[in-house]
Amino acid sequence: MNYLKQKSKHNIDAAKFLIDNKHYTSSVHCAYYSCLQILKVICIKREKTIIKNKPVHKQIIDYICEEIKDDKDRRSFRNTIYDLKLFREKSDYEDVLISEKDADKAYNKAQSILMFIYQKFEL
């Protein structure tokens, strides 16, 4: 589990490095996976079972949402992580140009998610 936390840190650092070196598309990928990895750390710590034949990312995100008791925080988290997820999919799979502004926006969303998760779940 410590490796996932470390991977999360490496991915957010990589996202910043990639932005600084004008590799905007790849930075979005790293920003999103940094968040997903830290969410999975929580699932592992709480022994949440991930069902193999269902979408893994959705299960992880939905579980974290269930654990966030405050409605406003839950909505904000859900909206932000799903925005980042959709943008990661667009960045990875669609024939679109990702600008520096887009990459910065994804990076900032990821930083916001990570800060919220570290505070809320005391990581």
Domain ranges of the chain: 2-120
Neighbour-count burial for 49-75, b at 16+ CB within 10 Å, e otherwise: eeeeeeeebeebbebbeeebeeeeeee
Confidence label for 1 from pLDDT (cuts 50, 70 and 90): low
Render pLDDT for 4-32 as a digit per residue (tens, 0 to 9).
999 999 999 999 999 999 999 999 999 99
The CATH number given to 2-120 is: 1.20.120.330
**How high is the pLDDT of residue 123?**
84
Which whole number is the average pLDDT over 89-100?
Answer: 97
Give the helix, strand, coil percentages of the chain, each rounded to 5: 80, 0, 20
- DSSP character at residue 121: T
52-56, 69-73, 106-110: segment of lowest average pLDDT: 52-56
Sign of CA dihedral 9, 15, 17, 18: positive
Q: How far apart are CA 119 and CA 113, in angstroms?
A: 10
**Quick one: tokens of 81?**
């992580």
Residues 6+ apart with CB under 8 A from 31: 11, 12, 15, 84, 88, 106, 107, 109, 110
pLDDT higher than threshold 90 for residue 3: yes
- What is the pTM assigned to this prediction? 0.94
